[in-house]
Amino acid sequence: MSESNKDDDIHSKSPESFVESGVVSESTKDLGATYSDEEDVKDVGNYVFCAFMMFGFGSLLPWNMFLNIAFDYYTMFKLREESGHANWFASNFQNAMTICAQIPSLGFSVLNIFIALKGDLTRRMGTCLLIVQSMVFVTVLFIYIDTSSWIPVFFVVTLISIIVLNASNGLFQNSLFGLASPFPFKYTNAVIIGQNFCGTAVTALAMLTKAASDDIQMRANLFFGLSSVAVIVCYILLKVLKKLNFYRKFGELKPSLNSVEGEEASTWSNIREAFSKSKMQFLNIFLLFFVTLALFPNVCMYVTDAKKGEKHDFVVSEKYFMDVVVFLNFNLFAFIGSLMANWVRFPGPNTIWIPVVARFWFMFYFPAANYNPMDFARAYPVLFGSTWLFVFNICIFALTSGYLSSLIMMYAPRSHEDPKIQRMAGMIASFSLILGIVVGLSFSWQIRLFITGYA
């Protein structure tokens, strides 16, 4: 049988059939050795699936809340002088926040691949959640403290908390994908479903609170309070998860000949083995998120219905155009895309690069649409002025982002038979994802410079 035919056969099967057909090795089957051969351990009530989905949701919620309220709360309120005038700290907070968030997340994702770990990954994840919770608590404390007389200090403290929060988040997410990798396909996808739903929920909450109240302190308190609750729920679920038989069957790797006294160490040989079969999936996930983050949100959010100086004339009012057409639209369709991957798995691992590369069309379309970056004039004419065409493209852009990211993150670890290498492949795929985000966000500024004639 040709390699491509094998691909089609593999991705057309249900997740459970991988174990039954022998695609997953004997080492995977041995994970359930403590149970009798006759006992078919199932995820009763889908508790483990829901837990992974909550981990995906809860791990991103604090940072998503931070991002969503950053402009109104920090730039326009907390970092302003008592007179209300803007200063250097307010003007540069968004850029500083992005750098402080992504670089530590990337760095700790790399570190996590090489850290030797005794026991299971949940121990490391629990520590990360405690650190995230402490940073959320510090953020809440500052809401009702007047910082107008010591803005530089508050600016630095806030950036330090962002660094710690995202370093812990990067470590948690990297470990989470590693933890989910030995499970059937849909459990890796559960993480991505939770992450994409998080964006949808936060956008909807932001719109509701904006319509209900102009009290920015109340909104900040609500946002970070809900983040704290989500982190606590995730921590409790980590403890409960380890008591479930289905989790113990796949999640608790047994000592093998490749480990010393049960110590699960990340080695160069494991990394090389993970790259040997999954390198194309690592490249695919990097390119996918590079394109996505190069355009969303930094380019898409500045696409408007009308050119500068012209009257807004669209079914969605100008006040909510960005919230509805860009953020809600993107997050909703990315969520739908990740859900679709639970039932539809096409194309296969060897051909998924085709739609990934095809998405580079959006790198041309969105800057050539009615993209009008704030305080800058376009140096090139608008080629695609239709707002409805923009709505259609952002739907496809988001749908393919959610769908393809789910498929690739499922395919990457399943290229291997050894559960330990599957876990390593999941971690490297998570690192590739974050690397794509960092490089994509950096490239978005180059797009602005090019369109405005500064490049």
Choose among 193, 161, 163, 219: nearest CA to 55: 193
- On whether both 237 and 385 belong to a single domain, the answer is no
Calculated CA dihedral for residues 238, 242, 247, 249, nearest 10 degrees: 150
pLDDT in tens, 325-379: 999 999 999 999 999 998 999 999 999 999 999 999 999 999 999 999 876 789 9
The CATH number of residue 187's host domain is: 1.20.1250.20
Residues 6+ apart with CB under 8 A from 65: 202, 223, 224, 226, 227
CB-based contact 207:328 (threshold 8 Å): yes
- On whether both 293 and 248 belong to a single domain, the answer is no
CA angle centred on 116, ends 113 and 122, rounded to 5°: 80
- On whether both 242 and 282 belong to a single domain, the answer is no
- On whether both 200 and 285 belong to a single domain, the answer is no
Q: Which residues of the chain have a pLDDT value below 70?
A: 1-39, 83-86, 116-120, 253-266, 375, 455
CA 380 to centroid of chain Cα atoms: 33
How long, in residues, is the chain? 455
pTM of the entire structure? 0.79
Residue 260 lies in a domain: no
Residue span of the structural domain in which 336 resides: 270-455
pLDDT in tens, 296-313: 988 998 899 987 778 888
Q: Number of structural domains, the chain?
A: 2
The pLDDT assigned to 306 comes to 82
The pLDDT assigned to 83 comes to 64
- Which tokens go with 211? 């319509």
- On whether both 190 and 297 belong to a single domain, the answer is no
Cβ of 354: how many Cβ atoms within 10 Å?
A: 9
Residue-by-residue DSSP string for 29-94: HGGGTTS-TT-----GGGHHHHHHHHHHHHHHHHHHHHHHHIIIIIIIIITS-TT----HHHHHHH
Residue 19 is given by DSSP the state H
Residue 38 lies in a domain: no
Residue at which a domain ends, from 223, 255, 287: 255
